[in-house]
Amino acid sequence: MKIDIINGSYLGSGNRESLFDLSIPIHFNGQLIIFVHGFMGFKDWGAWHLVQEYFTEKGFAFCKFNLSHNGGTVQNGIDFPDEESFARNTYSFEVNDITCISKQIIPYFEKTPEIHLIGHSRGGGAALLAAKEIGSKTLSLWASISSIASRFPANEALKKWGKDGIRYVENSRTKQALPQYFSLFQDFQENHERLNIEIAARSLECAVSVFHGKQDKSVDLSEGQSLSKWLNVDLFIMENADHVFGAKHPWKENQLPIALKKLCIETCLFLTKN
């Protein structure tokens, strides 16, 4: 039975309601892909809808969702109208959100599917940290971060953030100065073992693929190299790809950009082998 849910709602961290899309194709192969977006991202960014179409055409069910504290609302999941929720976000929330969505979409399936995680950028780090917890069969990392600790400011900048209790980061698309509470750093300190990507990677037992664009200016290629080393897998370097594999927002074409389509093809090959 074919199912297409657009802008359904789920309860994420802190019982905050957020949006998800779920497609289950007629010729469903019993495999579910859960896609995790990155920092300042959302499920409807750029060409992610075409990524969803690509995999459902191959027989996979596909779920993309907004992390609960990404700044969106159920009324507006594309921009960042809820700056307070953005400010209160933590890395623990993002990992927990993956567990929440994985549990709440299962009732839509006649039989419990096998789960495959795909995480982009910061979402790759969250997906890696959540993979064991949700029993993911595979994990595909697209331009993933390899460290949370390195995302924080150091020395005087960190002290100032702690003293002020808040700092601001600019969104290049909306031009908003989005707030982040110091609790983001405090959460990492309190949960540093759970949020240590290297430790999680070295103990991960599921099959993993690591992809990174050679022209990535947002997450350095060295982070993909570190991940592949810790995971003991080959790193697939995409020669002419940037951080978003040729996509942008909004994406007005009806076809995937060349690099992103190649990424989907290679990821699909990996999934079918595992």
Residue 140's CATH number: 3.40.50.1820
pLDDT at 62: 98
Domain-embedded: residue 158: no
Give the integer Cα–Cα distance in Å for 64 and 266.
19
Instruction: Give the chain's domain count.
Output: 1
Domain-embedded: residue 37: yes
Residue 23 CA to its chain's centroid (Å): 18
Counts of helices then strands in the chain (DSSP H, E)? 9, 10
In one-letter notation, the amino acid at residue 274 is N
Give the integer Cα–Cα distance in Å for 141 and 136.
13
pLDDT at 68: 98
Domain-embedded: residue 163: no
Domain-embedded: residue 169: no
Each of the 274 residues of the chain gets a pLDDT tens digit; together they read: 799 999 999 999 999 999 999 999 999 999 999 999 999 999 999 999 999 999 999 999 999 999 999 999 999 999 999 999 999 999 999 999 999 999 999 999 999 999 999 999 999 999 999 999 999 999 999 999 999 999 999 999 999 999 999 999 999 899 999 999 999 999 999 999 999 999 999 999 999 999 999 999 999 999 999 999 999 999 999 999 999 999 999 999 999 999 999 999 999 999 999 9
Domain-embedded: residue 171: no
The number of residues making up the chain comes to: 274
pLDDT at 70: 97
Give the CA angle between residues 45, 200, 87 to the nearest 5°: 45
Domain-embedded: residue 186: no
Does this model's pTM top 0.95? yes
Q: Which residues contact 273 (CB under 8 A, 6 or more apart)?
A: none
Domain-embedded: residue 112: yes
Give the integer Cα–Cα distance in Å for 108 and 4.
10
pLDDT at 55: 98
Domain-embedded: residue 52: yes
Give the integer Cα–Cα distance in Å for 238 and 249.
21
**Token couple for 253:** 């074409």
Residue-number span of the structural domain to which 104 is assigned? 3-151+192-273
Give the integer Cα–Cα distance in Å for 195 and 187.
9
**Is residue 8 within a helix (H) or strand (E), and if so which, with residue range?**
strand 3-11
